[in-house]
Amino acid sequence: MNQSKTIFSGVKPSGDLTIGNYIGAISQWPEMQDKYRCIFSIVDYHAITVKYQPEELRKRILEVTKIYLASGIDPKKSIIFQQSAVPEHTELAWILGCSGSYIADLKKMTQFKDKAGEKQNSVFVGLFTYPVLMAADILLYDTQAVPVGDDQKQHVELTRDIAKRFNNKYGPSFVVPEAIVRKEGARIMSLTEPIKKMSKSASNSNSYISLLDDIEVAKKKIMKAVTDSGTNIDYDSANRPALANLLTIYAQLGNRQIPRLVKDYQGKGYGEFKKDLAEIVAKFLTDFQNKFNNISNKEAQAVLESGRQQASALAQMKMEKIRKVIGVR
């Protein structure tokens, strides 16, 4: 494990992880392993901010772990662990909530507004304050960079603000992290409403492709995906967002460049393009699922236990220092 820079990121084990989660975030993690000290968490406490079933959550925790491994994250190079297994996360979240987090900041968080909707006065407090826990997840390991999807940049900015306020109050205590957002494919959009992000919690299953979708089902979703008016294939995210989204998926999963794809499909219609894209998606999912299915739950549990031990050692050292600077030790 390279010690030059610490990277932290995580995925919430709720809903089916999609090709959007993979392209926007997870796919860039394996290549970071040889450059940085990488810490990847299954952030299960974030999954309980909304309605959930305990048995389903237990299943999802192992599923996400296996998805990490199938994506190429190597437990010999990276720390992979379950957030709730390291209690220092919630301890630090409480401290940061008292020494660096303002209610005004949390009210600005778009994900709270999106999930709470018009019921902001009747949702649980955790949905409002979970960005503070997210900040604790990051700051606990002296993280210098956070690879995230485009929609998570706001959370990293809040984390930076919280770290700066804490440091100003108590002296240098936390590294102020930066977000790493990939230039292409940072946000994959819905297949049915391309002005919205592809979401694993969407009610319409045709709007997303799960990493564990049946192959034929996934192909049908591509063929049903909405397209814009016109017949020519070109990339224009502002005026033709549906086609731009499909081109991005093709480029990312097929290891192609968008300008080359546009050139190759000149004079060809949407039908041929979508049929080829469906095959690209099918090949990717087949390869991915073969890797996933070869990982047992027992292997995943062993990886989580090893990761817990490593993460706990780092977290305990950090919290000893934080408890001293705030005066409780």
Write b or e for each residue in 100-112: b if 16 or more Cβ atoms lie within 10 A of its Cβ, otherwise e. Answer: bbeeebbeebebb
Q: What is the DSSP string of 186-199?
A: SSPBPSS-TTSB--
Other beta carbons less than 10 A from residue 172's beta carbon? 10
Distance CA 22, CA 268 (A): 29
Q: Look at residue 279 in the predicted model and tell me its pLDDT.
A: 98
**Domains of the chain and CATH, by start:** 6-181+297-326 (3.40.50.620), 205-292 (1.10.240.10)
For residues 121 and 96, the model is more confident at 96
Label residue 81 by pLDDT band (50, 70, 90).
very high
Label residue 2 by pLDDT band (50, 70, 90).
low
Q: What is the pTM of this model?
A: 0.92
Distance CA 329, CA 322 (A): 9
**Residue 154 · residue 188 · CB < 8 Å:** no
Position 301 pLDDT exceeds 80: yes
Query: The tokens 């890797």 sit on which residue?
Result: 291
Query: The tokens 């592809």 sit on which residue?
Result: 198
Active site residues: 115, 197, 200
Distance CA 302, CA 308 (A): 10
Query: Between β-strands 145-147 and 78-82, what pairing exists: parallel, antiparallel or unpaired?
Result: unpaired
Convert the pLDDT of each residue in 126-171 to its tens digit. 888 999 999 999 999 999 999 987 778 889 999 999 999 999 999 9
Distance CA 13, CA 157 (A): 23
